[in-house]
Amino acid sequence: MFVPAAVVITFVCFCSFQATFGQDCRSRQEIQGSLKQVQKLLSAHEASYLQSLSNLKKKINSLQSNAGKQTTKAANSTCAKLDAPINGRKLGKSHSVSHEVHFLCDPGYELVGSESRVCQESLTWSGQQPTCRDINECVSSPCLNGGTCVDEVNQFSCVCAKGWIGATCQSTVPTFFATMTNTSAATSAAAATLPAATTGPFVRPSRCSIVQGTTHCTCEAGYTISGRDSSTCTDIDECELFHNGQAGRLCLHACINTPGGYRCSCPVGYNVTRDGRSCKDIDECATRQNNCTKDHMCINTYGSFQCVSVDCPKIPNATYVKTSPMRCERNPCPVDNKACTQTPNSFSYHYMALVSNLSAPRVMFRVSALRPMGETLRFSLLGGRLARRHFTVQRSDRLTGQLMLVSPIQGPATVEAEVEMSEVEKRVQLGKYITKITMFVSQYEF
């Protein structure tokens, strides 16, 4: 009987299961949008500030050049020295005829009297000596959008109506903080009932400064202004904030809120990646974190490992011997033993680690004959119902068949599929070769 010297090789289809996520994060775009607006606002402020500064410089320059011209004209005609008002300043040192002096009040005070006075030919000053008067900042109704003004010494503060923020309640609460407001409201409520919590690491005092009569309070990064008087900063719960973002999750697995920040954690068997957000499988087989014995092979899986060993099948009328750790071949059949020649020529074993819920369809594995044998090659799927539910076998070219995943497998699971390749000539089967593929599907999609 003719026994074909068939050589079967198999190619593992290496799939890359890199855990990627959250690049196009909608929540983050919203935050970036808000930040851009704040930046615009600051730029506008800066521009107007620089404009005023430049105007003032021009004015001073013109005053100085006038002064220069006039000192030569009327070198020795001066008016009485003028004092700066209390809580204010005087600009201009020359008291000569035709010279001007200007008066300014400190923040929180308003000027009553002449803003500028000129030394006249009569050597008297024009106008009235000004004074600086404490301002009731609330008189001008500075708080917008239903905010309540609270007058304080040299300043005021606004208690904003719901949905508005800013020194004068001029801005709507951005979405980012709207979510926060609920969180911080909850935190504040907790703080109110539990006084100890007000000084915990999640609540800190804000840093306030007074700029031109208005109070600006800021928080450290990761905190947001809270409290009726902006005196406290409450930790931003980033985990909560990004919890429902479709693609915008902060962490691939679990998120842990920390004072001023957050950190991600991974299941056992994974390490947090360098970027702090994803999980990377630990290769237990490479790091001796496995207990596989010498008789076993260690197969690294996502989140774990498996110890496997190949035992050659026991089939009547044929004997198989291991020719490599993952392969069994049939001993030559006795002449005229038909039962023997109909058994598979070889069994090959393959182990694959997969992540859960891998999308389908996709090629999982290819089985090829190294060279043509017989007339035709046939590929078919053997195995149980589970294998048939998830896989099909197709021919991809004359010498190659492929195992296709046709429906996603939810882990954790172990699924076995067998691909049979048989060579046929003149309707006679010349030989068949079995490839057993065992897939260890992890619990997670990473």
Ligand X SMILES: *[C@@H]1O[C@H](CO)[C@@H](O)[C@H](O)[C@H]1NC(C)=O
For ligand X, the binding residues (CB under 6 A) are 76, 178-179, 182, 271, 282, 291-293, 296, 307, 316-317, 337-339, 357, 359, 408, 410
DSSP one-letter string for 333-367: PPTT-HHHHTS-SEEEEEEEEE-TT--SSEEEEEE
Rounded to a whole number of angstroms, the minimum distance from the CB of residue 21 to ligand X is: 12
304 with 298: CB under 8 angstroms? no
Taking the complex as a whole, the smallest distance from the CB of residue 77 to ligand X amounts, in Å, to 8
Q: Is 279 exposed, middle or buried (0-12, 13-18, 19+ CB in 10 A)?
A: buried
Q: Which is nearer to ligand X, 109 or 440 (CB)?
A: 440
CA–CA distance, 422 with 149 (Å, rounded to integer): 88
Residues 6 or more apart whose CB falls under 8 angstroms from that of 57 comprise none
- Chain centroid to CA 194: 32
Return the number of the residue (74 or 399) whose C-beta is nearest ligand X: 74
Nearer to ligand X, 136 or 317 (CB): 317
DSSP conformational letter for 125: B
The residue behind tokens 């014995």 is 293
How many CB atoms sit inside 10 A of residue 11's CB?
Answer: 11
Least distance to ligand X, CB of residue 379, Å? 27
The least CB distance from residue 46 to ligand X, in Å, is 32
Q: Which is nearer to ligand X, 213 or 408 (CB)?
A: 408
Specify the residue, 131 or 337, whose C-beta has the smaller distance to ligand X. Answer: 337
Q: Which CB sits closer to ligand X, 216 or 296?
A: 296
User: Which of the 8 DSSP states describes residue 276?
Assistant: S
* Closest approach of ligand X to the CB of residue 181, in Å: 7
> How far apart are CB 305 and ligand X at their closest, in Å?
9
Q: Smallest distance from the beta carbon of 66 to ligand X, in angstroms?
A: 20
Query: Smaller CB distance to ligand X: residue 2 or 371?
Result: 2
C-beta of 71 vs 154, nearer to ligand X: 71
* Listed residue (379, 378, 393, 394) closest to 427, CA to CA: 378
Least separation in angstroms between residue 295's CB and ligand X is: 9
Per-state percent for the chain, helix, strand, coil, to nearest 5:
20, 35, 45
Whole-angstrom distance, CA of residue 251 vs CA of residue 263: 8
CA separation for the pair 142, 27 (Å, rounded) = 32
Q: In the 8-state DSSP scheme, what is residue 434?
A: E
